[in-house]
């Protein structure tokens, strides 16, 4: 009898041991899954930023080729340089291997340095030669091809729901057909740049000219992991998700804004995880992404999704914001918002919100630009009146609206301007006139596409 009970006890201990082991393994798997989600969110953020910056380079190069102002060209060339450097950092952060994108990286570095060398040439009262102008035209055409190819890869990623993390250190035999097609797409882009980009001869590089300003919007004390998790949970409540979440800090991301990576796991298996970056200083939400699979049915129209984004931004309590443009990417709507202070649009303080057109959920939020730029500002009084600003724009521009706006300059300074909106030959332009001296600071062209409108 004693032997029987002994065997029964041993069996019970084995069962208990298996149960404890299973719980431990389940916990390990959950933590690994959370870390993978956070990493995937970071990869996607860099990919979206890369596409945005390549598009900006296309527009900037086009403005230089159409310009007749040496002073403005200096500013634009410097902006090309800084934008190319940011795009290169985005590219370096993608999980596709430097050996696959070496020429692309070199192209962006050379484009930036070449533009900076031309800015210095103009500043020293030298003429840009016809050969140099021709190279700029070639670079613009090449950049446009790169932008189109990246857009195609984005479409493939969204259609096939490819996770960029699946491209990391994978042997070809281990890749899915869709992932292999995407990786091959990056490789073909790099090979084409090797053959088609013109050889650039210039004085450079100029990497020592970057001024990395510390983030200005990080107010408050340094927080711990528990506080970061509570902030993420409170933020999720503003998103109107009908579920409860458990929070887990999965790491610390470094960069210009040091942040905790926090994953919220839903108790409802029908809801996807949310990944956050919460700034260590002040506990500000820097980034939020819903890492679940997206639906493919468009049940919510653009107007409804825009209203959802506006309602969400009001709940954040950051102040008054104005939507300044939107873009439809796949089955999602991205809306840009700029802060408004004393009836002046504060363009340096921008946030982005992405809404699913499948269910109207807020699926992404990005406050990087806002947190890098936001500060307590005492806005100056304009020294010229609106009527004088109207006289400074091209006489062919049919003016529709004029309002005050604070805009960022290439040297990290800010300038109060009159934003003059108008049309020429059916195209909409925004012309920014310095409110102190009447100087034309910037021109933006509104690009109308099936995906939406953007001012670039």
CB within 8 A of 42, min separation 6: which ones? 93, 253
Cβ atoms 352, 335 nearer than 8 A = yes
Q: Higher confidence at residue 171 or residue 321?
A: 321
Q: Higher confidence at residue 295 or residue 152?
A: 152
Cβ atoms 111, 103 nearer than 8 A = no
Residues 15-34 have pLDDT tens digits of 445 555 555 555 555 655 66
DSSP H or E segment with residue 453: strand 452-455
**Under DSSP, is residue 132 helix (H, G, I), strand (E, B) or coil?**
helix
Q: Where are the domains of the chain?
A: 30-209, 225-373, 386-455
Range name among 23-37, 314-328, 369-383, 406-420 with the lowest pLDDT average:
23-37
State the average pLDDT over residues 342-371.
Answer: 91
State the average pLDDT over residues 254-275.
Answer: 85
Among the listed residues 380, 385, 389, the one whose alpha carbon sits nearest the alpha carbon of residue 420: 389
**Rounded distance, CA 151 to CA 162, Å?**
14
What is the percent of the chain with per-residue pLDDT over 70, rounded to a whole number?
81
Residues 223-252 have pLDDT tens digits of 999 999 999 999 999 988 778 899 999 888
Residues 382-392 have pLDDT tens digits of 999 999 999 99
Q: Higher confidence at residue 197 or residue 233?
A: 233
Token digits of residue 110: 């050379």
When pLDDT is cut at 50, 70 and 90, the band that residue 197 belongs to is low
The fold adopted by the segment(s) 386-455 is Nuclear Transport Factor 2; Chain: A, (3.10.450)
Residues 280-292 have pLDDT tens digits of 999 999 999 887 7
State the average pLDDT over residues 89-98.
Answer: 78
């Amino acid at each position: 009898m004693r032997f029987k009970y002994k065997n029964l006890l041993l069996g019970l201990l084995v069962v208990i041991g298996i149960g404890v082991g299973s719980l431990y393994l389940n916990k390990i798997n959950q933590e690994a899954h959370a870390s993978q989600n956070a990493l995937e969110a970071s990869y996607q953020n860099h990919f979206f930023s890369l596409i945005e910056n390549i598009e900006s380079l296309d527009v900037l190069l086009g403005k230089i080729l159409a310009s007749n102002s040496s002073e403005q060209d200096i500013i634009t060339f410097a902006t090309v340089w800084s934008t190319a450097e940011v795009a290169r950092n985005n590219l370096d952060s993608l999980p596709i291997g430097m050996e696959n994108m070496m020429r692309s990286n070199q192209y962006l570095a050379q484009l930036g340095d070449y533009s900076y060398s031309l800015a210095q040439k103009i500043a020293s009262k030298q003429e840009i030669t016809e050969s140099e102008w021709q190279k700029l035209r070639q670079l613009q055409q090449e950049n446009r091809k790169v932008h189109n190819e990246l857009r195609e890869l984005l479409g493939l990623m969204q259609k096939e729901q490819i996770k960029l993390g699946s491209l990391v250190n994978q042997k070809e035999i281990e890749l899915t057909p869709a992932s292999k097609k995407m990786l091959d797409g990056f490789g073909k882009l790099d090979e084409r740049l090797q053959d088609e980009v013109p050889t650039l001869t210039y004085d450079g590089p100029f990497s020592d000219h970057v001024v990395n300003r510390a983030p200005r919007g990080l107010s408050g004390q340094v927080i711990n992991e528990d506080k970061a998790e509570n902030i993420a949970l409170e933020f999720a409540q503003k998103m109107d998700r009908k579920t409860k979440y458990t929070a887990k800090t999965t790491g610390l991301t470094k960069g210009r804004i040091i942040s905790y990576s926090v994953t919220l796991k839903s108790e409802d298996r029908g809801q996807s995880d949310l990944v956050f970056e919460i700034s260590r200083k002040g506990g500000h939400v820097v980034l939020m992404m819903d890492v679940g699979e997206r639906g493919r049915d468009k049940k919510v129209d653009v107007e409804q999704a825009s209203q959802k984004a506006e309602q969400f931004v009001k709940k954040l309590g950051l102040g008054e914001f104005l939507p300044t443009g939107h873009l439809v990417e796949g089955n999602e709507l991205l809306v840009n918002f700029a802060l408004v202070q004393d009836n002046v649009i504060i363009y340096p303080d921008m946030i982005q919100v992405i809404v699913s057109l499948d269910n109207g959920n807020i699926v992404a939020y990005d406050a990087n630009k806002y947190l890098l730029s936001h500060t307590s500002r005492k806005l100056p009084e304009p020294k010229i009146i609106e009527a004088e600003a109207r006289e400074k724009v091209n006489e062919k521009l049919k003016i529709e609206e004029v309002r005050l706006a604070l805009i960022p300059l290439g040297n990290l300074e800010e300038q109060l301007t009159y934003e003059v909106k108008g049309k020429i030959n059916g195209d909409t332009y925004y012309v920014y006139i310095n409110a102190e001296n009447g100087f034309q600071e910037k021109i933006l062209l509104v690009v109308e596409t099936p995906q939406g409108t953007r001012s670039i």
